[in-house]
């Protein structure tokens, strides 16, 4: 069975601080995909990044960066110089490449981390 | 605009009433999913479909039924709504093709059962 754990339920920072959201996952499959989604107060899910299990390169996109480490089954997300607009719930999710068996090709989500950035 | 459209966006039901949530996608995706989101629990899979005419249960299927008569539509039904079904419901779709492995989500339906 797949599992995603986001140990931080809530994080509160002051604007311009850096913040890291942790994500640890469990799967026995060797081919899988990891995702981060942002859910702003308006409620929609905004796709941020997808990473496949064969690509451990870290990625940077503007103020966002992701650190994927298979050795520790972690896919952490860092926001540099946080802004008030970053306030949202962030979800880490795991998707298996195969749709068969019990995975159904579904996404398994973590519980989410509520990030609040104060001005 | 291509994507996943959910209707309605908001609904209030009385206990025991029934309703159907509609999910429509215009990307010709094979796979479609219904999730529910509850505070502190992330999104959990209710039912899913791997193709037209096929549906299957996910993690939390009790109290829900689904149908996929057309490839582009995935309906979620509540036959007798209960307060425990108060939640935000998301529909998602994705192609079968691994090269384009990505999920498209609808904007959600906020359902309150009183």
**How far, rounded to the nearest angstrom, does the alpha carbon of residue B33 sit from its chain's CA centroid?**
6
Please indicate whether, in this complex, the C-beta atoms of B103 and A9 are within 8 angstroms of each other: no
Q: Are strands A113-118 and A10-14 parallel, antiparallel or unpaired?
A: parallel
Average pLDDT on B78-98 reads 92
Each residue's pLDDT tens digit, B8-19? 999 999 999 999
What residues pair up with B112 in beta bridges, in sequence order? B12
pLDDT value of residue A57: 83
Distance CA A107, CA A36 (A): 11
Nearest alpha-carbon partner for A67 in A36, A101, A30: A36
Set of chain B residues whose Cβ sits within 8 Å of the Cβ of A112: 40, 42
Whether A104 contacts chain B with CB within 8 A: yes
Residue B102: pLDDT above 90? Answer: no
Set of chain B residues whose Cβ sits within 8 Å of the Cβ of A111: 40-42
Q: Looking at the partner chain, which of A4, A52, A106 has a beta carbon nearest the beta carbon of B45?
A: A106
Each residue's pLDDT tens digit, A33-75? 999 999 999 999 999 999 988 888 888 889 999 999 999 999 9
Bond before A59 cis per omega within 30 degrees: no
CB atoms within 10 A of CB A97: 15
Q: CA end-to-end span of chain B, whole Å?
A: 35
């Amino acid at each position: 069975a797949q599992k995603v754990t986001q140990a931080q339920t809530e994080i509160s920072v002051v604007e311009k601080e850096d913040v890291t959201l942790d994500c640890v996952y469990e799967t026995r499959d060797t081919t899988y995909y990891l995702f981060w989604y942002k859910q702003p107060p308006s409620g929609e899910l905004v796709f941020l990044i997808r990473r496949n299990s064969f690509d451990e390169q870290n990625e940077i996109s503007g103020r966002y960066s992701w650190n994927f480490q298979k050795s520790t089954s972690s896919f952490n997300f860092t926001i540099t110089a946080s802004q008030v607009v970053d306030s949202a719930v962030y979800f880490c999710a795991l998707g298996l490449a195969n749709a068969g068996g019990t995975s159904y090709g579904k996404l398994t989500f973590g519980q989410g981390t509520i990030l609040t950035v104060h001005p | 605009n291509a994507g996943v459209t959910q209707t309605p966006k908001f609904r209030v039901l009385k206990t025991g009433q029934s309703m159907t949530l509609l999910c429509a996608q215009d990307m010709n995706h094979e796979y479609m999913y219904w999730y529910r989101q509850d505070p502190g629990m992330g999104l959990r899979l209710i039912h899913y479909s791997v193709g037209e005419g096929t549906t299957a249960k996910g993690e939390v299927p009790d109290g829900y039924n689904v149908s996929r008569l057309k490839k582009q539509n995935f309906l979620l039904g509540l036959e007798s709504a209960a307060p425990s079904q108060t939640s935000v419901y998301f529909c998602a779709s994705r192609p079968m093709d691994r090269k384009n492995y990505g999920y498209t989500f609808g904007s959600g339906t906020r359902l309150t059962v009183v």
